Structures are given as C-alpha cells and as structure tokens.
Amino acid sequence: MSNFYSNGKLLITGEYTVLDGALALAVPTKYGQSLTVESILENNIIWKSIDNEHKVWFEDSLPIKEIASGLINPRNDVSKRLVQILKAAQQLHPDFLFRNVGTKTGFKITTKLDFPRDWGLGSSSTLINNIANWAKVDAYKLLELTFGGSGYDIACAQNDTAITYQLNNSQRNINNVIFNPEFKEHLYFVHLNKKKNSREGIEQYNKNKGTISSKIDDINIITQNMIDCSSLKDFNQLIHTHEAIISSIIKQPTVKDALFKDFNGCIKSLGAWGGDFILVSSLDNPTSYFKSKGYSTIIPFGDMILN
C-alpha cells in the first residue's frame, strides 16, 4: 500500500496577474487530500472518492487495457476527467499503470478530502499532485496536460509554508517565506457559498487585461509589502490597493462593493473573483455580521493556514 497527501491552497495576492509574471503570495492550508494505492488481482482500477463527511461521492471501475488502448468510454464527466489525468500520466511515464497488464494486476484507489468539495481549496490540484507522486511524474507537466493554470496550486500542494510564486518565461521561481502576521487574530477567511470556475475567470481576464506591465509592477510591490507588513492598518491599505488594481483590470466591482458595502473592515478576493473564499480583516470578530448576510463558514487565520 502507498499513501500520498497534498495540501490545499489559497492565493493571497497576484490573482490573474500571476499568469503574466506577477509575484504572487500563496499559502498551503491545513486542509488537503490524500490518495491511497493498493494492488489488486484484477486488471482494473477500482476508484473511490470520499468527501470530508466520509461519504462516497464518486466511484468507478476502469479497465486498464481500455485506458491503455484509448477505447474506454467513461460513463460520466468525473470518470472522463479521471481517465484524461491517467492517460496524461501515462504519456509522461509510459510504464505507469500498464507495466502490470500481462500479470492481471490492477489497483484499488481511495481518495479522501479534508474539506467540502465546493470550498475551492484545490480538490483538483491536490488530486493532480497525488497522482503525479504515484506515477513518479512532474506534477506541473501533468497539470499542463489536464487542467492548466499558473501552477501556484501545485507549489502549495508540495510546500508546508507560505511561498512566493512567479513565472519568468518558462521558469517557475518558488521561494518559501514566513507569512505569519502579528495581527493574524484579526484575519478571517469567509466562504461565499459558491465555487468559482477558475478557467472562466481567466478567460474574462485575458479578454479585458490590455497592457498591464505597470500594474504587475505594483502587484509585485504589494506582495512583498504584505509579507513584511507589521501593521493591520498598513495591511488594510495594501488590500484596498490590490483590490482596486485587479478591479480595474478585469472590469468587475470589488467583492466589498458588490456584497458588503456596510462592512466595517477590509475584504479581499482570493483567486478567481466571484466565489470561494475571501480574506477578511476586522478589528472585531466578524462572525455575526457574515452570518446575518447568509455566510456561515468563517474560519480564523490560524485555523486555515498551514505554518
């Protein structure tokens, strides 16, 4: 039996612009996903996916020979995506899965999420990283062949501290940093009750971005200042400036203007705008405010971020 585990992720700065070389601050979360592999005496992949409430949300049996030949006809979208990932892993490592076909052996796979599937903490990226570790392939290359994206989520899956992440032509610059603000007791993560499709957000960004080199320079400065910040007041100003920059690029109102104009504090979108988690900075515990608005998932900084 082999066991693999990957951390979830949150993108604190550089959303969208990370694709164009901006310096982004990203953090791994205390929530992630595990993958267990057992060999079995049949030529199939028996797959079972379990959610954070210990309920099976997906299961299927996939004949290895049919995956290898490309003749498999997945019965639903989840199976189709899974086959795509396994085929991509085979492309990167031709012996993966299929070296045992002649011996009538296969695999029983069990995945287990620590967080609800709609939280947007990386159910896909943690799966990609786990399968890459199992297949002994480069997780970034596997991501490129399947979901795409900047790859910061893979970096979070593989690191146990905050990171800065930057794309420079075809190179990834990843550095471990300390992001443990003195004022962290005033920071919270609030879920917006819906999951945002990152690919749709990226399409909208690419359509509207225009010339953004000067704005990327500004994001780079904000990212570094956020890491070094020791004052909640200064941190709030950085949030405000970052939100204004991204709003001007993607031509969408900030989440505070759209949903929480009367909130006495600062709010920042994380990742694709319009869903998943937001970062909330507040002198007072904001739980009652957000619950009154219908948002019941409020997680303190220390309970979310892996340090």
* pTM greater than the 0.85 cutoff: yes
State pLDDT tens for residues 93-139: 988 886 554 556 899 999 999 999 999 999 999 999 999 999 999 99
**Which two tokens mark 8?**
């979830």
Buried b (16+ CB within 10 A) or exposed e, 157-176: bbbebbbbbbbeeeeeebee
Q: Do residues 70 and 87 lie in contact, with contact meaning Cβ atoms separated by under 8 Å?
A: yes
Please check the confidence at residue 85 and state whether its pLDDT lies above 80. Answer: yes
**Which two tokens mark 138?**
């480069």
Structural domain spans, the chain: 2-176, 184-304
Cα distance between residue 280 and residue 101, in whole Å: 52
Cα distance between residue 90 and residue 97, in whole Å: 7
Domain made up of 2-176: CATH architecture: 2-Layer Sandwich (3.30)
Give the class (CATH, top level) of 184-304.
alpha beta
Question: How many CB atoms are located within 10 Å of the residue 38 CB?
Answer: 12
DSSP string for 177-209? -----TTGGGEEEEE-SS---HHHHHHHHHHH-
What integer pLDDT is reported at residue 184 of this predicted model?
97
Residue 66 banded pLDDT, cuts 50, 70, 90: confident
Buried b (16+ CB within 10 A) or exposed e, 245-274: bbbebbebebbbeeebeeeebbbbbbbbbb
Closest by Cα among 256, 257, 265 to 284: 265
Residue 5 banded pLDDT, cuts 50, 70, 90: very high
Q: What is the DSSP letter of 235?
A: H
Please check the confidence at residue 182 and state whether its pLDDT lies above 60. Answer: yes
- Average pLDDT estimate for 135-149: 96
State pLDDT tens for residues 226-239: 999 999 999 999 99
State pLDDT tens for residues 198-250: 777 788 788 878 788 899 999 999 999 999 999 999 999 999 999 999 999 99
Q: Do residues 248 and 39 lie in contact, with contact meaning Cβ atoms separated by under 8 Å?
A: no
What integer pLDDT is reported at residue 206 of this predicted model?
81
What integer pLDDT is reported at residue 102 of this predicted model?
52
What integer pLDDT is reported at residue 180 of this predicted model?
95
What integer pLDDT is reported at residue 104 of this predicted model?
60
What integer pLDDT is reported at residue 185 of this predicted model?
98
Average pLDDT for the chain? 93
What integer pLDDT is reported at residue 232 of this predicted model?
98
What integer pLDDT is reported at residue 103 of this predicted model?
56
- Give residue for tokens 């290359």: 141
Q: Do residues 219 and 242 lie in contact, with contact meaning Cβ atoms separated by under 8 Å?
A: yes
- Helix 213-228 × helix 232-250 angle, to 10°: 160
Residue 177 banded pLDDT, cuts 50, 70, 90: very high
Question: How many CB atoms are located within 10 Å of the residue 42 CB?
Answer: 14
- Average pLDDT estimate for 274-292: 96
